[in-house]
Amino acid sequence: MNMEFEEEIGVNNNDTGADAERLEVVGLKAEGLEAGSLDELNRDALGGMQDEIRATTFPKTAIIVPYFGKFPSYFGLWLRSCAINPEIDWLVVTDIESDYTFPVNVRLVSRDFASVVRRIQEVLGSDVVVPVPHKLCDYKVFYGLIFNDLLVDYPYWGHLS
């Protein structure tokens, strides 16, 4: 692993066992960042073993990412960062139709903002007001209930604003 990357993620040179193995995988993936496309990134950075590494090393984890409107200009870079984290499935709940090439661990879940608000109201049993998509973050502690249909296969989940 290169020294700059080790310092950036705070690698302890005394790491052993599974943690050291995971850091080595992360180091390999980080070196693959120069690949030209997401397909090349997945193939080159992990040697085509993304599913095997995930299945043998990491528990299934989902990150729920509600995003409505228009993807930001740096969205392609964000997709690359997702691609080098094969232990996580990124569930992008959105109303956006996209021409981006998505890595295998990023799934676009088509939902409109109004249906998500209705689901929040249903789960909380209240007529909550969510005036703009940005305010969904006020309900992120309830995402496990709001998006429970997406989390059936995941023992662990998180959220991203």
- The DSSP-derived string for 58-72 is ---EEEEEEE-S---
CB contact at 8 A, 136 and 130: yes
Domain boundary among 31, 54, 77: 54
Q: Are residues 79 and 142 in the same domain?
A: yes
**What pLDDT does 46 receive?**
55
pLDDT above 90 as % of the chain: 60
Boundary residue ending a domain (14, 30, 54): 54
Residue 2 has pLDDT above 50, yes or no: no
Residues 107 and 41 in one domain: no
> Which residue range forms the structural domain that includes residue 76?
59-159
CA 107 to each of CA 76, 79, 98, 159: distance values in angstroms, whole numbers, following the listed order:
14, 11, 12, 14
Q: Assess whether 92 and 132 both reside in one domain.
A: yes
pLDDT at 126 over 50: yes
- Residues 61-76, mean pLDDT to the nearest whole number: 95
> Does 74 share its domain with 42?
no
Please give the Cα distance from 108 to 102 (Å, whole number).
9
Q: Do residue 44 and residue 102 come from a single domain?
A: no
- The more confident residue out of 101 and 8 is 101
pLDDT over 50 (residue 9): no
Q: How many domains does the chain have?
A: 2
Q: What is the pLDDT confidence band of residue 25, given thresholds at 50, 70 and 90? A: very low
Using the predicted structure, report yes or no on whether residue 51 has a pLDDT greater than 60: no
Q: What's the pLDDT band for 50 if we cut at 50, 70, 90?
A: low
Q: What percent of the chain has pLDDT over 70?
A: 63
| 35, 109: one domain | no
* Interval 80-92: pLDDT, tens: 999 999 999 999 9
Residues 91 and 148 grouped into a single domain: yes
Same domain membership, residue 46 and residue 118: no
pLDDT value at residue 62: 97
